[in-house]
Amino acid sequence: MDTNTTSKSAYKLNDKKIENAWAMFDWANSAYALVITTAVFPIYFTIVTEEQFTFLGMQFKNDELLSFTISAAYLIIALTLPLLSGIADYGGKRMAYMKFFTWMGALGCMSLFFFTGMENLVFGLIGFMLAVIGFAGGQIFYNSFLPLIVTPEHYDRVSAKGFSMGYFGSVILLVVILAMIKLHSSLGFENELGAMKIGFIMVGVWWIGFAQLPFRRLPQHEGKIAEGNIVLKGFQEFKNVFAEIKTQKYTKLFLASFFCYIAAVQTVIAMASVFAKKELNFETGELIQLLLLLQLIGALGAFLFSKLSKLAGNKLSLMVIILIWTLVIIASYFTYSKGQYYGIAMVVGLVMGGVQSMSRSTYSKLIPATEENSSSYFSFFDVVEKFSISLGLFTFGYVSGIANMRTAILSLIAFLVVSVILLAMVKVEKS
């Protein structure tokens, strides 16, 4: 069947209002990333569940099951998003899918209010997985807007702006939730858990509420309008982009390197609070205060590495970041005091924003800057990331189950070593 291509939306590239609206989506959904993935829910989960238990006929540690659950959620999104993003490009529904996953994630967060412990463990795991899938799904369509709203020389700056907005926005909400936990008695909560549960509701409301600005201001892209079977058309669109990537030497090498280092990075971020709680006996309030400081430093790190990339290029910036992450993992293995962990967390904050921002902008420089298939290119990028995170978390959960959390953390170094070797062969043009 023949296809038509609609005219491009009437909007101006490098428009500050559109840039800010795009960055506001990071402000909206980063509350989930901090509160649900990193700070509050992992602590809540380890408190309301038993240390070891039988689930689906198998024995699990609670940190092991949490790791496997996140791994499964990312595997699901990795398997389904290639098709969905191809449809988004071919059917002109990029914004529609962005809204769908945002609502899914926000409602998943709010459903965690009803998760109380072992008696409804399955309900809690499903709600958590929906939140993970909603976040990951919305992120791919959000990322795909970057080449549509700014020219390549602004990728680093605008990408860093998005991450920084996300850090500051999530910190504001986490401060409020921390105050609720600290003052739970004065606010009428029976215990800290009651305040945490209200926090899950607040994350969902924050997420969907602030997402309304990008929903209204970002280009209402229509792309290619396909006739016939839209599912097959979308799948074909993704296959076409995959075929193009196979011919791009440096894009392939970068994606292979990205696969390796992001597996280690995202696993450390996801399991950091559980490690601090179980291995170093951090109290809930102490841990959230630490994560707040980490977020603020993360915002600074995103901008610092954006500046470094202008001076030395994206490749060197990423190699420095990977080296620092390697040292962080080694130091974590030998850490036995809260003071030492505070120091490590400060370093993590510095490179956490840098690795995410640099990865997104580097990939933007390696792919063709075309409007028609940007979703499918970023779909491939995000699918690589989701498979990577799934493997990293599965590795962590498996090693933790047969050994302990310290050994699980140390095992992630293998991913980083391979990533540096691959990245050394990549050529990236300086901005």
The model's pLDDT over 308-338, given as tens digits with 9 standing for 90+, comes to 777 777 788 889 899 999 999 999 999 999 8
The model's pLDDT over 373-399, given as tens digits with 9 standing for 90+, comes to 566 777 778 788 889 999 999 999 999
Query: Is 136 a residue whose pLDDT tops 60?
Result: yes
* 26-30, 56-60, 297-301, 336-340: the lowest-pLDDT one: 297-301
State residue 299's pLDDT score. Answer: 67
Most confident of 171-175, 202-206, 247-251: 202-206
Q: For residue 409, how many other CB atoms are within 10 A of its CB?
A: 25
State residue 2's pLDDT score. Answer: 35
Q: pLDDT grade, residue 180 (50/70/90)?
A: very high
Q: Are 226 and 3 in contact (CB under 8 A)?
A: yes
State residue 208's pLDDT score. Answer: 96
State residue 8's pLDDT score. Answer: 44
State residue 6's pLDDT score. Answer: 36
Q: pLDDT grade, residue 121 (50/70/90)?
A: very high
Q: For residue 112, how many other CB atoms are within 10 A of its CB?
A: 25
CA–CA distance, 217 with 210 (Å, rounded to integer): 12
**Do the bridges between strand 58-61 and strand 224-225 make them parallel or antiparallel, or are there none, so unpaired?**
unpaired
Which class does domain 12-423 fall in?
Answer: mainly alpha
State residue 5's pLDDT score. Answer: 37
